[in-house]
Amino acid sequence: GENVEQHPSTLSVQEGDSAVIKCTYSDSASNYFPWYKQELGKRPQLIIDIRSNVGEKKDQRIAVTLNKTAKHFSLHITETQPEDSAVYFCAARTNAGKSTFGDGTTLTVKP
Amino acid sequence: GAVVSQHPSRVICKSGTSVKIECRSLDFQATTMFWYRQFPKKSLMLMATSNEGSKATYEQGVEKDKFLINHASLTLSTLTVTSAHPEDSSFYICSVPGGTDTQYFGPGTRLTVL
């Protein structure tokens, strides 16, 4: 089955700096890669996603890049703000519909 | 996107009792729903895929007799934790697949077994 590895597990940045979280996946059949933000005790919220036919996608301060050959994808957050502090999960999904999640990255943005 | 609710949001029960958790898709008909569990500071682990009108598909290592899933209608799936024990304490989240690739998560149910 699919295996998703996510790094780093914790990340601390100063407000205004950029944050980068990286994930690798194992199943070449995976074709959809969402990123979720989860605050304590809340449901995961989709913040951005990318499909396998696209190399990069950007939405304001958030961007995701995908390298299909290397089987890795990354989340980039620029101009970080304290409200960006949360746990971020990457996931990989195949056509079968099941998503495999990374272990999560706890991002702390210091004011 | 789809609106997904879960009930209850929190439940505390004694060891040995059974607990039922409901997942409802309020504005979207769902032939499939997913059930996840999440331990504190851990990732979401897929437990099973709930299929309307047929048996659920369980992930490897998940006991189907302990975690009973019933997909009664296109808007309701239930997860029953039978004979709950303290190690079953967790955050249980359901999700509904969207029209394309997206999935919409419920708000989760915090189960504490004493």
What is the rounded average pLDDT for all residues in chain B?
93
Query: What pLDDT, in 10s, does the model give residues B89-105?
Result: 999 999 998 766 788 99
How much is the pLDDT for B34?
Answer: 94
Chain A contact probe: residue of B51, B101, B104 with most A CBs at under 10 A: B101
- Which positions in chain B touch A102 (Cβ < 8 Å)? 43
User: What mean pLDDT do residues A56-66 have?
Assistant: 96
8 Å CB contact between A72 and A55? no
For residue A76, give the nearest of A48, A54, A100, A51 by alpha carbon: A48
8 Å CB contact between A52 and A45? no
- Name A83's Cβ contacts closer than 8 Å, sequence gap at least 6: A109
How much is the pLDDT for B40?
Answer: 86
How much is the pLDDT for A80?
Answer: 98
